[in-house]
């Protein structure tokens, strides 16, 4: 089949073989990592943590004071965010300070931009 030939998908909608092959390739891709990222982002407390970290680097102790969550619960959420490369941490004396990664920051900015345009 040449590029000029079309495949009837649903009358009168047609796709060229080239485009059909591209769509098939995309539909065959492994999206597990992306699905997991969306699952991580689907929890309201994690989004609130990201928004707070967008404002300033924070210690878990501050997040404990601002939420009804225990230290262990917040540490769990921060670990999930860290595993997805959304946040990173550094030690400052006896405190673990969390901050957004470049990816986390750009992702939040993209989401904010899209929601403000709706």
Residue 41: which CATH number?
A: 1.10.10.10
Task: Identify whether residues 20 and 38 lie together within a single domain.
Answer: no
**Tens digit of each residue's pLDDT (9 = 90 or more) over 6-56:** 555 566 678 888 988 999 999 999 999 999 999 999 999 999 999 999 999
Same domain, 6 and 42: no
Considering the domain architecture, whether residues 65 and 92 belong to the same structural domain is answered as yes
pLDDT attached to residue 14 = 81
Residue 115: predicted pLDDT: 84
Mean pLDDT, rounded, for 77-82: 97
Same-domain pairing of 24 and 52: no
Task: Looking at the structure, tell me whether residues 12 and 57 fall in a common domain.
Answer: no
| 71-78: average pLDDT | 95
Helix or strand (DSSP H, E) at 68: none
Distances (CA, A) of 87 to 11, 18, 69: 48, 40, 19
Residues 81 and 67 reside in one and the same domain? yes
How many domains, the chain? 2
- What percent of the chain has a predicted confidence (pLDDT) above 90? 75
Q: Are residues 22 and 37 in the same domain?
A: no
| pLDDT band per the 50, 70, 90 thresholds, residue 64 | very high
pLDDT value for 2? 43
CA distance 3 to 14: 12
pTM of the predicted model as reported, rounded to 2 decimal places: 0.79
Q: What's the domain range around 19?
A: 1-30
- Region 93-117: what's the mean pLDDT? 93
């Amino acid at each position: 089949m040449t590029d000029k030939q079309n495949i009837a998908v649903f009358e009168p909608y047609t796709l060229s073989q080239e485009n059909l092959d591209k769509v098939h390739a995309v539909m065959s891709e492994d999206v597990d990592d992306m699905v997991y990222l969306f699952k991580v982002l689907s929890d309201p407390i994690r989004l609130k943590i990201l928004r707070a970290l967008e404002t300033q680097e924070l210690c878990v102790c501050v997040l404990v004071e601002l939420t009804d969550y225990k230290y262990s619960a917040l540490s769990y959420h921060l670990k999930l965010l860290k595993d997805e490369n959304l946040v990173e941490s550094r030690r400052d004396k006896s405190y673990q300070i969390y901050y957004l990664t470049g990816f986390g920051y750009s992702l939040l900015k993209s989401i904010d931009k899209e929601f403000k345009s709706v």
